Chain A
Amino acid sequence: MSDEYEHKLEAKSDYTTDASTVGASDIDSVPEAEVADQELYHSHSWWTTYVFSQDAKYIGVQYALTAIGTGLLGLVLSWLMRIQLAFPGLGWLEPAAYYQFVTMHGMIMVIYLLTALFLGGFGNLLIPLMCGSRDMAFPYVNMLSYWAFVVAVLVLLASFFVPGGPTGAGWTLYPPQAITAGTPGSDWGIILMLVSLILFVAGFTMGGLNYIITVLQLRARGMTLMRMPLTIWGIFTATVLALLAFPALLVGCLMMTLDSMLGTSFFMPAMVSLGEKLSYDGGSPILFQHLFWFFGHPEVYIVALPAFGIVSDLLSVHARKNIFGYRMMVWAIVGIGALSFFVWAHHMYVSGMNPWFGFFFATTTLIIAVPTAIKVYNWIITLWRGNIQLSLPMLFSLAFIVTFLNGGLTGLFLGNVTVDVPLSDTYFVVAHFHMVMGIAPILVVFGAIYHWYPLITGRMLNETLGKIHFWITFVGSYAIYFPMHYQGFVGVPRRYFEIYESPYIETSTLLLNQFITIAALIVGAAQLLFLYNIIVSARLGKKSEKNPWKACSLEWQTPQMPPEHGNWGKETPKVYRWAYDFSVPGAKEDYIPQNVPPSEVTGAKVEKT
């Protein structure tokens, strides 16, 4: 601990001077404003207030609700698939329907739920509030971003109602099969999927530019980058990743749309289908895989980095202790973000590539584990000797650490070519990515909603319902995914729509499949409790006090709670410290908000930030 303390002292900024040597007026000084106070858009009609709102907080809630609504569909699809897998004898699903549900479940959960919720939802809600700004830089475009997302979702859902149904190509949409007869939805479904993704990317770009610029150019006075809460660092870095990774997806989607509609052969080799030679010739299916995974791997971190950031803040607030190694945490986020662009081909070990490339990508993959491990250690050290409050956000954060560690460790297996080749295409992979980018971020989402719900509604969520929800979700998801690791080891292949007893598959896995399905149904049903809690508490929940968790970050320091249009009343806040001054020796309270001037807490032994 003392080393860390020394380090902070050394890395001091030039603004805060020592309280003992200068007068009170000097220590409260903050550099002059560099930008004029933001002019706000004021809505005039019902439409511009409640529908086409330009207020980032409101857009954030709109984004979150749309994403969660779409995510519920993804949840139901997973139920249907699990019933089919557990009881193949029922003939519950046609093979085509199973593959369509797999595809839609994957795409919905990764893009339309997690990406939209973390960046569109939490990004819009928290960036202006935590940075001390009045709104996003360009509210009009921010509003367009949300509505482009809505259209993207509608186009995606429309694919359920076209001839042939949605695409069943798997969420990776690999050509040539994605647009070849025999794959479900190969003519209409896939095109709607591609168009929806293109719309999503266009909409996200509009929002993403706002998030980045608001963080870079519109912070409050005194809010240096190294005083920003880690939540903002996570969302900011993830947005940068998204703006650089989504182009590859956009290009891949465009090219596949042309392959499908115009008969170009970007990705399509010469093929014989149903006894007939197709008109395609000379394209490269591997090219699509490269484009897709150049997007796809950063996408994992687009989801993970905001989760890392948010969980750091939740742990710190609910353990009443500053985050351990703040600077290290920031550099780890940035480092993981940069490295994530150099690991994509580890998703393609079995696609066939030069062994040296496999070697290269395995090495980079293992290197990325270093900053990630640093973060896990720092979270644990943050908890060490903290005043841990077992509130709901803390419970979910603790569950996240365990789950993420678990998923991370299986990631080390899969990152090595020789281990990956036999495990690839088994349930081990399914277990790995659900643990690491399904369950882990979702646990953070829940923690974050329990934490910031009072900020949005002014009321608390019901604690008892929340605890039930937590334990079922946490224990239940382990009941679902732990057995899958075992299934993978004994060689149960993924992507099979029915698994019967056979000489190649252990009998135990059949029973396990039923066990997993029952667990999945229960966990899914527990989410209804959560929904009920959210809906009912908005009206009937216990009134929240102003800063219910006694947090230091700015979003809780607004004059009104929930914050009003413009967030800050007459004057935007001035920031004097980082967001983690908890349990400071010599301070009266166990937390010092970021906007409390040093002269008000002269006795406190505050770390200089």
Chain B
Amino acid sequence: MDQSSIDKLPKGWKSIPNDLGSDQTAFKGVQWGKAMMWIFLLSDTFIFSCFLISYMKGRASTVVEWPNPSEVFALDFMGVPVPLLLIAIMTFVLITSSGTMALAVKYGYEKNRKMCGWFILLTAIGGLTFVGMQAFEWSKLIHEGVRPWENPFGAGQFGSFFFMITGFHGTHVSIGVIFLFIFARKVFRGDFDTGRRGYFTTMKSDYVAIEILGLYWHFVDLVWVFIFAFFYLW
């Protein structure tokens, strides 16, 4: 584009709708799948926001006292109850898996098939560890008498919100883990180098798919940070 036509473009605020609204693509150079994942995540953000806002409302309006989180979630370590011990480890593992995912994306774009595959596998194992520890925490709480409809520590809504929201998040992590394993296999098989077609979608494989999966994985981590803050620190 020459200077005279650049000068004719709108300036300031007007340039934003003008740029977004220009030919063919609103997000320049962004593969459609990536944009689609971002919009899905926006929608998913609304789901988790609704959950957390409902939780705040529920917790604020119970007639019975809310259980004390630092006691309920404490873990006995060498005979001493340590608050937030398990959850700290879980959070650490999940955040670390976000780091390995980022590395997988980087190696993917470098077409370093092996490293990419290993890091995806590492991420999957991190996610699996997280889900495993969550299962452990659930069974510990259930063992102590916490149920979705009642618990010995205080308001019944505690168990309701806890199991529902961590369960919904855990489902997200599990789905992510399944896809991570599938993608690890695809990477090692070389699908993304040869552009092999998807079994269901019949679309050509492309390394951008790993970044898209990465977006999802980072989102799941980010949501966990909020759940962590609202359930364990409040």
Task: Point out the residues of chain A lying under 8 angstroms from B164, CB to CB.
Answer: 254-255, 258, 264
Which of A14, A224, A265, A284 contacts B149 (CB under 8 A)? A265
Task: Point out the residues of chain A lying under 8 angstroms from B28, CB to CB.
Answer: 34
Task: Point out the residues of chain B lying under 8 angstroms from A140, CB to CB.
Answer: 200-203
Kindly state the separation between the CA atoms of A247 and B50 in the bound complex, as whole angstroms. Answer: 7
Q: Which of the candidate stretches B54-62, B115-123, B124-132, B179-187 sits at the interface with the other chain?
A: B54-62
Interchain CB contact under 8 A, B42 and A138: no
- B51 interfacial by beta-carbon distance below 8 Å: yes
Per-residue B-contact encoding for A203-237, CB less than 8 Å = 1, 0 else: 00100111011001111111111100000000000
Per-residue A-contact encoding for B1-36, CB less than 8 Å = 1, 0 else: 100010011000000010011111111111011011
Interchain CB contact under 8 A, A220 and B24: yes
Q: Taking A213-B32, A258-B164, A262-B149 as contacts, is the C-beta distance between A251 and B23 under 8 angstroms?
A: no
Total A-B Cβ pairs within 8 A: 149
- A421 interfacial by beta-carbon distance below 8 Å: no
Kindly state the separation between the CA atoms of A243 and B29 in the bound complex, as whole angstroms. Answer: 24
Kindly state the separation between the CA atoms of A282 and B201 in the bound complex, as whole angstroms. Answer: 47
Interchain CB contact under 8 A, B21 and A217: no
Which of B21, B39, B43, B149 contacts A264 (CB under 8 A)? B149
Q: How many residues of A contact B (CB 8 A)?
A: 54
> Which residues of B150-200 are within 8 A (CB) of A?
155-157, 159-161, 164, 168, 200
Task: Point out the residues of chain B lying under 8 angstroms from A14, CB to CB.
Answer: 1, 5, 8-9
- A137 interfacial by beta-carbon distance below 8 Å: yes
Interchain CB contact under 8 A, A34 and B25: yes
- B47 interfacial by beta-carbon distance below 8 Å: yes
Interchain CB contact under 8 A, B32 and A255: no
Task: Point out the residues of chain B lying under 8 angstroms from A226, CB to CB.
Answer: 21
Shortest Cβ distance from A352 into chain B, in angstroms? Answer: 14
Interchain CB contact under 8 A, A213 and B36: yes
Task: Point out the residues of chain A lying under 8 angstroms from B17, CB to CB.
Answer: 225
Who on chain A is nearest to B159 by CB?
A264
Task: Point out the residues of chain A lying under 8 angstroms from B9, CB to CB.
Answer: 14
Shortest Cβ distance from B117 into chain A, in angstroms? Answer: 25
Interchain CB contact under 8 A, B50 and A291: yes
- B204 interfacial by beta-carbon distance below 8 Å: yes
Q: Taking A216-B27, A248-B50 as contacts, is the C-beta distance between A283 and B32 under 8 angstroms?
A: no
> Which residues of A124-155 are within 8 A (CB) of B?
137-138, 140-141
Interchain CB contact under 8 A, B23 and A34: yes
Besides the known contacts A39-B204, A247-B44, A255-B164, 17 further A-B residue pairs in the complex with CB atoms under 8 A apart: A15-B23, A34-B29, A217-B32, A219-B25, A224-B23, A225-B20, A243-B46, A247-B46, A248-B46, A262-B148, A266-B160, A266-B161, A281-B64, A282-B61, A282-B156, A283-B58, A294-B50
List residues of B whose CB falls within 8 A of some A CB. Answer: 1, 5, 8-9, 17, 20-30, 32-33, 35-36, 39-40, 42-44, 46-47, 49-51, 54, 57-58, 61-64, 148-149, 155-157, 159-161, 164, 168, 200-204
List residues of A whose CB falls within 8 A of some B CB. Answer: 14-15, 30-31, 33-35, 39, 41, 137-138, 140-141, 205, 208-210, 212-213, 216-226, 243-244, 246-248, 250-252, 254-255, 258, 262-266, 279, 281-284, 287, 291, 294
